[in-house]
Structure 1
Amino acid sequence: MIAVRDKVNFIQTGWMVNPALFGDGRPWSFGLWKGVNRTGCYNTRCPGFIQVSRTDLLSIPLSPLPKGEIGVYLSIEQDKKTGNWWATDVKYNGHGMHIGYWPKELFDLISTNANMVGVTGAVQASPSGKSPPMGNGYLPTKNEMESARVRDVDIIDSNFKVIGSRKYKLEKILDSDKCYGLRDGRKKSFDEGTYVLFTYGGPGGDSCGI
């Protein structure tokens, strides 16, 4: 993301529950962009995102894993030659699937780079003032398997080298500690199978301050 005065460019991808957008209460993967002259939209609701894969779509309902968990493994990366921003479904076998891309012409501030990378959880309160659950609805505890969690985030630097988020300063922001929580994860290697960047979420409720 880059913001300059009244301009902002960003691309987001991940998962959300949004009945107004999807028509049901299931979790869906999504993409969202904002570019030149405040243009932008979710998924393919306006011209912009170019779907390439015939099997791996940008926005689909997500099915629980065998243990009832839901996981999303997505990346946003800029192609060094074309400048286009690609959405990729990251596979643990080392072969990612390119979903599609946002052409560089959509943006006037992130044509060559972005100055901020964020990982976030967000909710929107209803007109009654009640805020919905975030994550799986549980506050984070010492047991990292009990709440929603984010594993290490890889960042591609200006030299197009992949660097783990541990090399960068992490700014943590929690808008409401009444209804939601945020905890640092354990800092161990992936080889040990225990590395978690942070855990987050909560039940929501009334007067959450969101």
Structure 2
Amino acid sequence: MAHTPCVLVVDDDQPTREMLLEALATHGFRALQAGDGAGMRRELEREAPDLVLLDIRLPGEDGLTLARFLRERYDVGIIMVTGSGDVIDRIVGLEIGADDYVAKPFDPRELLARVKSVLRRIQARPDAAAASAPQNARRVPFGRCTLDLDSHQLYDSDGSEVMVTHMEFDLLRVLHEHAGKALSRDAILTLTKNREWEPFDRSIDIRIARLRRKVEVDPDNPRAIRTVRGVGYMFVP
């Protein structure tokens, strides 16, 4: 039986939650809900969702704190919901490891497009058994790390896994596939198949900076992911 994606909506505004639950159910998703961080944790204990739709402005623990908690403990997609003018929150959310964001007020169709985009990246990952089979492994060096193209994982030089988001993996894969070629930000978005997502100016730069902290020996003097002035970025094996 095909897996029905599960989305956990975390928002303290009940009408917003109900609107999102109805929209998600109409488009074939299973939807859970929580009004704050404590409610989110209770839902996570019952079932691990595929994606969490997380409002930043929450009572008690804010959405950024909860996003950090999720990224450290769960392999889930994270979409942050921000105010229309909260650019700093969006930047911090991406630095923490959120996969995407949507600004309030939003069109439900836009939100659903972003949900589907993140879930496609998650669902494209092979199952654990296939990913762990040594004969199928395709591991390539990437800076001081090793990138496993089959299991969608990144490993440190000591063999320990380095956590990356789905978007971060897509960026590493695209840079590897075009090694030695300078790619513009626009080309990177096209190659990672995120054309329905209209990012703000610094989104790619933020993710590149985050990846450099993971794969570079000296992130302040990057040798693997180079900046090409006036163009974009280039992977140098």
Same fold (TM > 0.5): no
TM-score between both structures, scaled by the size of structure 1: 0.32
Which structure features the higher share of strand residues?
1
Higher relative contact order (CA 8 A, sep 6+): 1
Greater fraction helix: 2
